[in-house]
Amino acid sequence: MRAARLPLPGSPLQFPMKPLIFSFFLLALFLAAQAPQKFTGVITDEMCAAGDHSQMRMGPTDAECTVACVKYHDAMYLLFDGKKSYALSDQSTPEKFAGKKVTVTGTLDSKTMTIRVDSIAAAK
């Protein structure tokens, strides 16, 4: 049985490579998870989170109802994609898109279901 050779001090093999490779893998995974995504849906409010304004009817249109709920009931603007509602970090820009189909570009926090908004544009 031969004794394992230890690398000489200062040699590049002195540092174990597995932890270094694992660290780079984790960093890449973290950066990939933080990449902006595109979400398409309708701008609504938390009072009518599923985009159904028939109960509240704070205005004659869905857009007016959404704006009124945010203004008078301290509701937040949301993006409803047909299945899920997402809170939006930007609460100013959505007003001009209230009741309309949009594409939101941003990063999703899956724990809070909040999109950190980079941009909002009318959906094509």
Q: Rounded to an integer, what distance in angstroms lies between the CA atom of residue 50 and that of residue 35?
A: 27
Residue-level pLDDT at 96: 96
Query: For position 16, what pLDDT does the model report?
Result: 65
Task: Answer yes or no: are the C-beta atoms of 76 and 94 closer than 8 Å.
Answer: no
Name the token pair of 9: 């001090």
Structural class in CATH, domain 37-122? mainly beta
Cβ distance 97 to 103 under 8 Å? no
Quickly state the pLDDT bin for 21 (edges 50, 70, 90).
Answer: confident
> Do 105 and 36 meet the contact criterion of CB atoms below 8 Å apart?
yes
Question: pTM of this prediction?
Answer: 0.69
Percentage of the residues of the chain whose pLDDT score is greater than 70: 68
The residue with greater pLDDT, 110 or 5, is 110
Residue 4 Ramachandran class (φ > 0 left, ψ -120 to 50 alpha, else beta): beta
* Strand locations in 60-100 (E): 77-80, 85-88
pLDDT band at 61 (very low <50, low <70, confident <90, very high): confident
